[in-house]
Chain A
Amino acid sequence: MADLLVHFASGFAAGRPLRDGRLRAILYLGVCLPDLLYKGLLYLGGAPNWLCEPTHSPLGLVLFCYAAAMLFEEEWRKRAFAALLAGAYLHVLFDLGKNYLGAGVILWAFPFSMETVELGWYYPEDTIAFMLPALGVILLVELVGGLATRFSGPRPAAP
């Protein structure tokens, strides 16, 4: 949960074009989900680090998102699953850019392989410096989204 503002900003930018506020709310949850699950298992569950790693692996996230989607009402489950998974994959994509001295933390092919990957573009603590730009992105996206809505007409009311 070290840098959720940056993750949220990425989800906010990706989700702003969605016209349904409920779908956006699920996408925002999805973008926080990998860290919520990881830290929840680690600190609340007292689980060892490796046990938590499937929360940041593509196949593991399919199962986590499926279980979470099943908690929604029946007609919402498919959309909830898609939004949660899209948000979670966006999160993993951003984490992929981190530099852990080549050790990597994303088990991209788990459970078929224990190979970890990283792109090494930025150090984890660099996210402190990304916080203000992330806020800027959120404000900019909101501003552009608001202007786009004004010129394209009002959004349809939620049923």
Chain B
Amino acid sequence: MFSNRHYRWKLGAAIAAIALLGVLAARRGEAVNPMLWRCVAQPERWQGARLWIPFARIVSVRDASYEIAAGDPEARIRVDGPAPGKPGDLVTLTGTFRADGPRLEPDRSRAFPPRFRLRWLVEAVSIAVVLGVLANLARHFLFRPKLLQVEGDPRG
């Protein structure tokens, strides 16, 4: 399984299986949690769909509803109920899509706390961690012909 025998076939089969899993997840996942812009573009098709919106921005707030903008490409939708924050705040929510409107019946929602704005710092540290991990791996496994030549040289 890990030998060099049929190496290309084994590596090719693994990559093909990975690609197949990705396509399968994309096709089946489309119906599980559709993108907001798709729901807004075809409201009747997605009537009753459960939505999870990881990041959204509150655009405007009314007495019994509020409007959010989310996704890429950005789409806007009215959400029933009191807003979890003020206009401009970032929120996350789950809910059920309703074609009349269209609107969103929220199930759970919350506004991100102020420390969410420090996310860039976590991203920067994460990139540094990856670079460190890759440098450490290279230190142990990188093929260095010059070093081998020096070590293998009986005069050296």
Binding site for B on A (CB under 8 A): 1-5, 8, 21-22, 25-26, 28-29, 32, 35-36, 41, 47-54, 59-60, 63-64, 66-67, 69-70, 72, 74, 77-78, 81, 100-103, 107, 110-111, 114, 125, 127-129, 131
Chain B residues with CB below 8 A from A51, complex form: 22-23, 25-26
Q: Please report the C-alpha to C-alpha distance between residue A36 and residue B137 in the assembled complex, in whole angstroms.
A: 15
What are 18 A-B contacts defined by CB distance under 8 Å? A4-B126, A4-B129, A22-B141, A25-B140, A26-B137, A48-B26, A50-B28, A54-B21, A60-B18, A72-B141, A74-B2, A101-B52, A101-B107, A101-B109, A102-B108, A125-B119, A128-B119, A128-B121
Q: Please report the C-alpha to C-alpha distance between residue A70 and residue B22 in the assembled complex, in whole angstroms.
A: 20
17 A-B pairs besides A28-B136, A28-B137, A111-B25 with CB distance below 8 A are: A4-B130, A26-B137, A47-B22, A54-B18, A74-B2, A74-B3, A81-B2, A100-B52, A100-B92, A101-B107, A102-B94, A103-B33, A110-B21, A114-B29, A125-B112, A125-B113, A128-B116
Q: Which residue of B lies closest to A110 (CB)?
A: B25
Q: Which residue of A lies closest to B135 (CB)?
A: A25
Binding site for A on B (CB under 8 A): 2-4, 7, 10-11, 14-15, 17-18, 21-26, 28-30, 32-33, 52, 54, 92-94, 107-110, 112-113, 115-116, 118-119, 121-123, 125-127, 129-130, 133-134, 136-137, 139-141
- The reply to whether A101 and B140 form a contact with Cβ atoms under 8 Å apart is no
Minimum C-beta distance from A25 to chain B (A): 5
- The reply to whether A53 and B126 form a contact with Cβ atoms under 8 Å apart is no
- The reply to whether B125 and A4 form a contact with Cβ atoms under 8 Å apart is yes
- The reply to whether A52 and B22 form a contact with Cβ atoms under 8 Å apart is yes
- The reply to whether B22 and A29 form a contact with Cβ atoms under 8 Å apart is no
- The reply to whether B115 and A128 form a contact with Cβ atoms under 8 Å apart is yes
